[in-house]
Structure 1
Amino acid sequence: MTEHSMIIQQGIWARLGLPRELCWGFFGIFLFITGATIEQSWLASLLQHRGFDAVHISLLSSVFGLCVALVSWFSGIGAGVLGLRRLMWVATLIYFIGSVPFIGWALPQGHYPLMVASYALRGVAYPLFAYSFLVWVNQRCEPGILGRAVSWFWIAFGVGMTIVGPWYSGVMLPVIGETATLLSGFVFVVLGAFCALVLNRDRPQWQHEGRLGTALAEGLLVLVREPKMRLAVIVKTINDIGKFSLVILMPVYLPRFGFSIAQWLGIWGLVNVVNIFANYFFGWLGDTIGWRKTVVWFSGTLCGLAMLAVCYAPVWFGNSETALFMALVLYAIGLGAFGPLSALIPSLLPHNKGAAISCLNLGSGLSNFVGPLIVTLCVVPLGVEGTLWVIAILYFAASLLSVPLTLPEEG
């Protein structure tokens, strides 16, 4: 570890996993994600009201997710060749290039092909920005606080996407409408980039000479050579499939039992407050008892049970906000238990962390693709209930697949 990286571990904030030199970066991630994903909790409902069916909606989300997955994988590799700051500035530019046609033409006119293309381009921005910063965190923080540090990353990410974004949308949609709400996301994105790249004066040093093509090839070869990396990508992919499925399924499923979209947005935002505390708790627990043990014992187990609870809470208790809230709280806690993966996976290949982080980011991005894809493939033949069962089974499998993810020093 370099002298510089040792210096920033000192102090009370560093011991909490939040090095002072990176604080503006974490705050920038929160703001950028809030603006870049401001529509994710209500876009499916909007499209449904405008006449698009569940298949078209989930296909749009799947294409969006596939682009997110590819760029997420690229961010870990490209960071070492092109530089972290450069990638994050490019991400900011791409956000506006994709957002302007999506908001200004495709969505108002209901032009589906342009909607798919522009929304996919817009979707490239946030993983490139956020996961480049995750590389930054892994570079700067020593192993003793890494679990907590990456938990702060996911807290900033989650607060923006699943708490402030839905809450802000719930307040602004009735007042200024969908288009103006989407446009207001531009302000969050600009402020986020300013905080993470201007106010944040830390200079990442993990950059090396090399060709991009060679680095991309190495990123693919590591998946061929390292069985643990393949397992890690699968587990990380399963991590968020529920989150990206629920935002499509619940606006369609819950109205059957008398829930309004406003109720869903309120519950979803409140539940994710719990996830903030769960993220940090499991980050601390992972640093204490081991990252792998934390993931194996708690993550998929709790999330799988939660999917079944979400499925049957409205059936058994009707329009009970309390029952639905408790089911989703269990899910938020389980999601927090996946947090140590962001420390575990890069540590599986200490000699090639760039490629390992690209695998981590690939799994994170694939969740955006696989979650909606599961809905696309399952919702017609199996219904919403059957789809939730499929997701639950995958979560249970994730806990089992995490067992072989031992660190090199563990054998």
Structure 2
Amino acid sequence: MTEHSVYIQHGLWARLGLPRELSWGFIGIFLFITGATIEQSWLAAMLQHRGFDAFHISLLSSVFGLCVAVVSWFSGIGAGVLGLRRLMWAATVVYFVGSIPFIGYALPQGNYPLMVASYALRGVAYPLFAYSFLVWITQRCEPRILGRAVSWFWIAFGVGMTIVGPWYSGVMLPAIGETVTLLSGFVFVVLGAFCALVLNRDRPEVAQGGSMGAALSEGIRVLVREPKMRLAVIVKTINDIGKFSLVILMPVYLPHFGFSIAQWLTIWGLVNVVNIFANYFFGWLGDTIGWRNTVVWFSGTLCGLAMLAVCYAPVLFGNSETALFCALALYAIGLGAFGPLSALIPSLLPDNKGAAISCLNLGSGLSNFVGPLIVTLCVAPFGIEGTLWTIAILYFAASVLTLPLKLPDSR
């Protein structure tokens, strides 16, 4: 990254971490993610009702997540070779290439192999689009506001995936059915691409060119030679495993205590409103007391406790929406405390930010794979309670693993 590629941000919005030059991009991320992940909170329940067992449902999600992980890693590396805008346009096209056979044939026919293949291709789209824009943010924002800027990215991302998507689905599923609800996601995706790539006039000054093979090799070498990068990938992977596990576990677990799918979707959407405020608060706190300190003290600790609370709230309080909301809200707060990782990890390698961002994105993508994989591996032998305990232990470990990720200036 060259000096002239960084904006000198002034004004109220810049101080809040939302420079006006990128504002349409944030809106585009929100809309694109809403459409591209519209099914994630209810697909498991739909497949269960259509006769698929927990293993096949979680396997579908695991393959989807593996593709997300690979493409997430590629988005950081590919930006320097192909360019950010080109990657985001490609993501928009790939979304339709995967979605049309998935919605139009595989789901109606119950063709499981085609479901896995087309859903995996659909899954390539949103990380390629979103994480390319995350590279854009890290290239264009000054370090003094970077923690807040990336918190806005995760707010836009989370509002689309975990608030508007579930709420919109909760309203539309009874009215228009599953297929038309999925198809309506196309509108969000088109609008998102239009905002991020047409209305957003900014041109990121990321050096382009060179060999894709050389860029990919450098991304692999960074993981081999930099122990901090390996730790960073592990911590970032643990970051979202609960989110991608809960959307599979809760629609199966909660009905045993009298909760409906509509109740689950409503509560899940509400607690993610809490996450909006937590994301920004911890972004500000990270810029104030240090990105690493914020993650160490608050992220894994709160998320681990929340997993245990989610496990036992229905056992202790039955069909209590308040108790379930409080448990999930604690998780949403802890999830927000992971936000400064998106500023911390690229700053660990200031001379090779592209490779560092690829590691950050790899961890983000691996959450999509590891979360469902934990469900696949743990539900049969340990049950849902044991699976939630496993996730809790991993979260506690994440706080400890963050300790060595210290920058020279102790941010």
Same-fold status (TM-score > 0.5): yes
The 2-side partners of 1:192 and 1:287 are apart by: 29
Cα pair 2:34 2:165 within 8 Å, conserved = yes
Note if 1:374 corresponds to 2:369.
Answer: no
Consecutive unaligned residues of structure 2, counting only runs of 5 or more, are none
1:172 match: 172
- Which amino acid in 2 is paired with 1:39? E
Cα pair 1:84 1:204 within 8 Å, conserved = yes
Pairwise CA distance, 1:210: 1.1
2:161 match: 161
Residues 22-68 of structure 1, C-alpha deviation per residue, up to 9 Å, x if partnerless?
00000000000000000000000000000000000000000000000
SS at match of 1:409: coil
- Which amino acid in 2 is paired with 1:262? A
2:3 match: 2
SS at match of 1:41: coil
2:323 match: 323
- Which amino acid in 2 is paired with 1:193? A
The 2-side partners of 1:5 and 1:227 are apart by: 28
The 1-side partners of 2:408 and 2:219 are apart by: 19
The 1-side partners of 2:17 and 2:191 are apart by: 24
2:219 match: 219
The 2-side partners of 1:353 and 1:203 are apart by: 18
Residues 291-310 of structure 1, C-alpha deviation per residue, up to 9 Å, x if partnerless?
00000000000000000000
Pairwise CA distance, 1:4: 5.4
Note if 1:149 corresponds to 2:149.
Answer: yes
SS at match of 2:295: helix
The 2-side partners of 1:42 and 1:318 are apart by: 22
2:274 match: 274
- Which amino acid in 2 is paired with 1:255? P
The 1-side partners of 2:363 and 2:410 are apart by: 23
2:107 match: 107
Note if 1:249 corresponds to 2:249.
Answer: yes
Residues 68-112 of structure 1, C-alpha deviation per residue, up to 9 Å, x if partnerless?
000000000000110000000000000000000000000011000
Cα pair 1:45 1:251 within 8 Å, conserved = yes
Cα pair 2:274 2:332 within 8 Å, conserved = yes
State the TM-score, normalizing by the size of structure 1: 0.99
Cα pair 2:5 2:205 within 8 Å, conserved = no
The 2-side partners of 1:133 and 1:352 are apart by: 18
SS at match of 1:130: helix
Size of the aligned set, in residue pairs, is 410
Pairwise CA distance, 1:208: 3.0
Residues 295-339 of structure 1, C-alpha deviation per residue, up to 9 Å, x if partnerless?
000000000000000000000000000000000000000000000
The 1-side partners of 2:207 and 2:24 are apart by: 21
Pairwise CA distance, 1:213: 0.4
Residues 358-373 of structure 1 mapped to structure 2, 5 A cutoff: 358-373=358-373
The 2-side partners of 1:404 and 1:143 are apart by: 21
2:204 match: 204
The 2-side partners of 1:397 and 1:113 are apart by: 36
SS at match of 1:195: helix
Residues 292-331 of structure 1 mapped to structure 2, 5 A cutoff: 292-331=292-331
Cα pair 1:13 1:19 within 8 Å, conserved = yes
The 2-side partners of 1:31 and 1:159 are apart by: 9
- Which amino acid in 2 is paired with 1:139? Q
- Which amino acid in 2 is paired with 1:249? L
Residues 205-242 of structure 1, C-alpha deviation per residue, up to 9 Å, x if partnerless?
01233111000000000000100000000000000000
- Which amino acid in 2 is paired with 1:407? L
Cα pair 1:28 1:196 within 8 Å, conserved = yes
Cα pair 2:5 2:204 within 8 Å, conserved = no
The 2-side partners of 1:71 and 1:53 are apart by: 28
SS at match of 2:208: coil
Note if 1:395 corresponds to 2:395.
Answer: yes
Cα pair 1:292 1:402 within 8 Å, conserved = yes
Cα pair 1:82 1:207 within 8 Å, conserved = no
Cα pair 1:239 1:338 within 8 Å, conserved = yes
The 1-side partners of 2:409 and 2:215 are apart by: 26
- Which amino acid in 1 is paired with 2:261? I
- Which amino acid in 2 is paired with 1:112? Y
- Which amino acid in 1 is paired with 2:76? G
- Which amino acid in 2 is paired with 1:236? K
Pairwise CA distance, 1:269: 0.2
Pairwise CA distance, 1:11: 1.3
The 1-side partners of 2:108 and 2:46 are apart by: 11
- Which amino acid in 1 is paired with 2:65? G
Cα pair 2:5 2:139 within 8 Å, conserved = no
Residues 35-184 of structure 1 mapped to structure 2, 5 A cutoff: 35-184=35-184
Cα pair 1:139 1:206 within 8 Å, conserved = yes
The 2-side partners of 1:3 and 1:74 are apart by: 25
SS at match of 2:409: helix
- Which amino acid in 2 is paired with 1:374? I
The 1-side partners of 2:323 and 2:4 are apart by: 52
The 2-side partners of 1:61 and 1:307 are apart by: 20
Note if 1:230 corresponds to 2:230.
Answer: yes
SS at match of 2:7: helix
Cα pair 2:65 2:370 within 8 Å, conserved = yes
The 2-side partners of 1:4 and 1:229 are apart by: 25
Residues 257-296 of structure 1, C-alpha deviation per residue, up to 9 Å, x if partnerless?
0000000000000000000000000000000000000000
Pairwise CA distance, 1:10: 1.3
State the TM-score, normalizing by the size of structure 2: 0.99
Residues 368-408 of structure 1, C-alpha deviation per residue, up to 9 Å, x if partnerless?
00000000000000000000000000000000000000113
- Which amino acid in 2 is paired with 1:241? I
- Which amino acid in 2 is paired with 1:95? Y
